């Protein structure tokens, strides 16, 4: 791989051992990918620290500090090096817990201490502690053409498709190395020629609410896997929440990292634009039959209609979604056999607190939580067996990771389930 002078200097250790290891990692990674060079980035989103369940155990049993955690898990180095301040704008994605609701999440004081230590450590290095899978909802909004190095599949697909930012789905290691160097291999979605559509999807049903967009994403992801779908026939402009749920679902059932919606997303002003003048390698339709197939797949684990947990906020809820939930929930009471947890970024919770939304949720018996979610933090209300969610992504992962049944439906159906303790949803 060709290296620029500043890159060679880092690789030679002129900026200390941590940046040397970071550059060495990026060079090995880039060479494995066939990248010819690195590209500058000033926008990195990653996870670090030791709040994820497996890392909590590792840090506790090895009695190691955060320099050692970062060296081992972000720089691929058994040798512990002192971690310097980050070189470029770097944000923390989701964590493994909500420290404020640790008790509800069944998390002990030792793990909360790890969280607090990590916040002090990484905050001190200049990492922005957004603590969410949706950095674009709380101030990190890349512009079209901006080269980024992001982890988190639902954020990556949003960045590429909706914002026109350019990122591959990075891992903890490459994101950590990018934070210290401001570099990332120049390949994949950084290059114009890899951003054109491959599959044309013709919508033959109206895709209305957020759950509908999730189903659509789930169906398309299964068909196209890791390629780039182009949606035509969308009758109105979907909002942030709909595109967020669509992308999260498509990146779960397949590995989609980019899509186009004709007339909506920034690199798809026309079919010609979206496909770069080439022909799609495949065309397929999404009509009532396909929608039914997607619904049945997403709901394949739901058997028992007695719901004991309703989880909302995958990806983390926007303020608009919290406001919508509060309209459904105000003055109501959650069923005694059911819990309601809603996940959102901390910055949005701050506004929700001010607006009285947190109080509405808590008065009903629910919780508005931050930083994590049930699948990533592996946190569930005690004894949960049957969950209800309005996210196809969470319906995909929660049964697989936590061994529970999951019902998928609209936000309204989920709130009804929380109030009655019964799932009464169905395809409309
Ligand atoms: Fe976010 Fe968890 Fe879903 S981290 S995208 S809420 S699986």
Could you give the CA distance from residue 63 to residue 54 in angstroms, rounded to a whole number?
Answer: 14
8 A C-beta contact, residue 380 and residue 361: no
Tell me, what's the pLDDT at 343?
99
Over residues 243-270, the pLDDT tens digits come to 999 999 999 999 999 999 999 999 999 9
Atom of ligand 1 nearest to the CA of 343: 6
Whether 316 lines ligand 1, by a CB cut-off of 6 Å, is yes
- Answer left, alpha or beta for residue 225, where phi above 0 means left and psi between -120 and 50 means alpha: left
Whether 376 lines ligand 1, by a CB cut-off of 6 Å, is yes
Dihedral sign of CA atoms 96, 98, 99, 104 in order: negative
Residue 261: both structure tokens together = 């919606």
Q: What is the DSSP string of 307-374?
A: --EEEE-SS---HHHHHHHHHHHTT----TT-EEEEEE-HHHHHHHHHHTHHHHHHHTT-EEEES--H
171 C-alpha vs ligand 1 centroid, how far in Å? 16
- Topology of domain 309-420, CATH: Aconitase; domain 3 (3.30.499)
Ligand 1 pocket test, pick from 95, 133, 156 with the greatest ligand atom count within 8 Å of Cβ, gives 133
What string of pLDDT tens digits covers the 428 residues of the chain?
999 999 999 999 999 999 999 999 999 999 999 999 999 999 999 999 899 888 888 887 777 889 999 999 999 999 999 999 999 999 999 999 999 999 999 999 999 999 999 999 999 999 999 999 999 999 999 999 999 999 999 999 999 999 999 999 999 999 999 999 999 999 999 999 999 999 999 999 999 899 999 999 999 999 999 999 999 999 989 999 999 999 999 999 999 999 999 999 999 999 999 999 999 999 999 999 999 999 999 999 999 999 999 999 999 999 999 999 999 999 999 999 999 999 999 999 999 999 999 999 999 999 999 999 999 999 999 999 999 999 999 999 999 999 999 999 999 999 999 999 999 999 98
Tell which residue, 131, 408, 388, 381, has the closest CA to residue 252.
408
8 A C-beta contact, residue 384 and residue 378: no
Atom of ligand 1 nearest to the CA of 397: 7
Tell which residue, 130, 124, 290, has the closest CA to residue 201.
290
| Domain regions of the chain by residue span | 5-190, 196-298, 309-420
188 C-alpha vs ligand 1 centroid, how far in Å? 24
Ligand 1, atom 1, residue with closest C-alpha: 315
Whether 378 lines ligand 1, by a CB cut-off of 6 Å, is no
Tell me, what's the pLDDT at 367?
98
A 10 A CB-CB count for 267 gives 18
SS3 state of residue 136: helix
């Amino acid at each position: 791989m060709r290296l620029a002078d500043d890159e060679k200097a880092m690789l030679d250790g002129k900026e200390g051992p941590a940046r040397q290891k970071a550059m060495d990692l990026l060079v090995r990674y880039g060479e494995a990918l066939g990248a010819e060079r690195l590209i500058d980035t000033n926008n990195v989103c990653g996870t670090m620290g030791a709040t994820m369940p497996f890392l909590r155990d590792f840090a506790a049993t090895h009695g190691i500090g955060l320099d050692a955690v970062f060296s081992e898990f972000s720089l691929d180095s058994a040798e512990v090096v002192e971690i310097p301040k980050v070189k470029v704008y770097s944000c923390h994605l989701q964590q493994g817990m909500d420290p404020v609701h640790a008790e509800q999440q069944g998390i002990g004081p030792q793990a909360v201490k790890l969280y607090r230590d990590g916040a002090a450590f990484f905050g001190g290095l200049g990492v922005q502690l957004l603590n969410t899978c949706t950095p674009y909802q709380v101030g990190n909004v890349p512009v079209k053409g901006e080269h980024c190095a992001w982890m988190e599949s639902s954020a990556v697909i949003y960045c590429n498709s909706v914002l026109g930012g350019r990122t591959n789905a990075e891992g903890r290691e490459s994101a950590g190395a990018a934070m210290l160097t401001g570099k990332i291999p120049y390949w994949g979605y950084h290059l114009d020629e890899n951003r054109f559509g491959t599959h044309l999807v013709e919508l033959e049903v109206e895709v209305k609410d957020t759950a509908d967009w999730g189903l659509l994403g789930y169906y398309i992801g299964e068909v196209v896997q890791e390629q780039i779908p182009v949606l035509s026939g969308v009758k109105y402009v979907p909002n942030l929440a709909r595109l967020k749920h669509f992308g999260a679902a498509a990146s779960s059932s397949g590995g989609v990292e980019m899509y186009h919606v004709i007339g909506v997303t920034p690199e798809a002003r026309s079919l010609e634009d979206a496909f770069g003048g080439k022909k799609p390698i495949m065309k397929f339709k999404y009509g009532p039959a396909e929608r039914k197939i997607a619904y049945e797949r997403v709901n394949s684990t739901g058997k028992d209609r007695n719901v004991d947990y309703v989880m909302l906020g995958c990806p983390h809820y926007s303020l608009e979604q919290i406001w919508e939930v509060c309209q459904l929930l105000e003055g109501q009471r959650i069923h005694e056999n059911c819990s309601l947890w809603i996940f959102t970024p901390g910055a949005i919770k701050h506004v929700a607190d001010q607006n009285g939304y947190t109080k509405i949720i808590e008065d009903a018996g629910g919780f508005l939580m931050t930083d994590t979610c049930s699948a990533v933090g592996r946190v569930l209300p005690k004894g949960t067996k049957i969950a209800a969610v309005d996210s196809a992504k969470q319906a995909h992962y929660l049964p697989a990771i936590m061994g529970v049944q999951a019902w998928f439906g609209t936000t309204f159906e989920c709130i009804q389930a929380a109030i009655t303790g019964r799932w009464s949803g169905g395809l409309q």
